[in-house]
Amino acid sequence: MTNTVEMTVKLFGAFRDVVPAGQIHLNTALPVSTKELKIQLAQSFRANPRTNLDLQALLTKSVLATETRVLAAEDLIEVPETLALLPPVCGG
């Protein structure tokens, strides 16, 4: 049995240029893999005309995280929780 819930994803870095509010809400069925959630995020970003960034490339290099750990692509999210979308960081 699937359970549809609203998930909040907090945005950082260049993703805030696309969504200045700093977060996005997705309706998704649980359980959902982080890979599937990133696909849903990509669809949501494509619907937003505010950017000329290559968000697909940025999403590919970004990771989702909970408050306590970074998630791998195959990790399953089984309960509703707030996630963070973390773009790659460089510099020194």
Q: How far is CA 25 from the centre of its chain?
A: 9
3-state secondary structure of 85: strand
Which stretches in the chain have pLDDT values below 70? 1-2, 49-53, 91-92
CA dist 37 and 7 (Å) reads 10
Q: Where are the domains of the chain?
A: 3-86
Q: What is the pLDDT of residue 92?
A: 42
Q: What is the pLDDT of residue 51?
A: 61
Q: What is the pLDDT of residue 22?
A: 94
3-86: CATH topology:
Ubiquitin-like (UB roll) (3.10.20)
Peptide bond into 20 cis (omega under 30): no
CA dist 74 and 34 (Å) reads 6
Q: What is the pLDDT of residue 44?
A: 85
pTM for the predicted model, two decimal places: 0.87
